[in-house]
Amino acid sequence: MGILSRFKDIMSSNINALLDKAEDPEKMIDQCLRNLNTDLGKVKSETAVVMAEEQRSKRALDECTAEINKMQQYAVKALEAGNEDDARQFLEKKGALTSKQEGLQQAYDLAHTNATNMRQMHDKLVKDINELESRKDMIKGKLAVAKTQEHINKMTSGLNGNNSIAAFDRMEAKANAALDKANAMTELNNSTGDSIADLTAKYAGSTSNVDDELAALKASLGQGQQ
């Protein structure tokens, strides 16, 4: 039986270990679920067959055992009735049935072992499927968050190392320096022109005032006509 030959593999499989080794846990979860459901379908079908065989074997064994007990009872009754030959026939039949019983017992033991294994596989697969189903959304959610965080980290790293922004800052600093220099030159030029003009006006105004005052003074003293 194919599925029984995989009994050890299925029973020893560890879902968590498979996920830990997976390069892409999200795809591995889906694949594991597909595989487990496929195996579960086979196990259910074959478990039903094996359990039916177990029941048939058990029924045949019980019937044989009951027949043996019946032959024993008939042998006792025959002896009690004084019919030794009849008792002997019942015992001979009992012996034949006893030999048959051994074979039926072996068949039942094998069928029972197979049925037990099938039920164990069924329960294991159901447990693994339920575990994966309960963890699937949680694991996929964590993977989605991790991918988003990784994307954000890459964007942040790119912004931190953005040469364009650094170059812009340097250009702005140069522009500020050039503007400061131009303002300083304008201030110096305006300062020089004002000094000369003020000095000229000072002396021009002083000379004119003094001459006027001197002429007026002479006139008042009558010296202007001499």
pLDDT at residue 29 greater than cutoff 70: yes
First to last CA, the chain: 157
pLDDT score of 52: 95
**Model confidence, pTM:** 0.53
- What are the tens digits of pLDDT across the range 99-118? 999 999 999 999 999 999 88
Query: Is the dihedral angle over the CA atoms 78, 83, 85, 86 positive or is it negative?
Result: negative
* Dihedral (Cα; 74, 78, 84, 85), 10-degree rounding: -60
23 three-class SS: coil
18-27, 82-91, 101-110, 157-166 — which is least confidently predicted?
A: 157-166
- What are the tens digits of pLDDT across the range 36-72? 888 888 888 888 999 999 999 999 999 999 999 999 9
Say which DSSP state 6 is in.
T
* Dihedral (Cα; 93, 98, 103, 107), 10-degree rounding: 110
As a whole number of angstroms, the distance between CA 15 and CA 36 comes to 10
Mean pLDDT of the chain: 81
As a whole number of angstroms, the distance between CA 126 and CA 9 comes to 16
As a whole number of angstroms, the distance between CA 36 and CA 125 comes to 6
The CA radius of gyration of the chain, in Å to the nearest whole number, is: 57
As a whole number of angstroms, the distance between CA 116 and CA 50 comes to 9
Say which DSSP state 226 is in.
-
pLDDT score of 225: 52
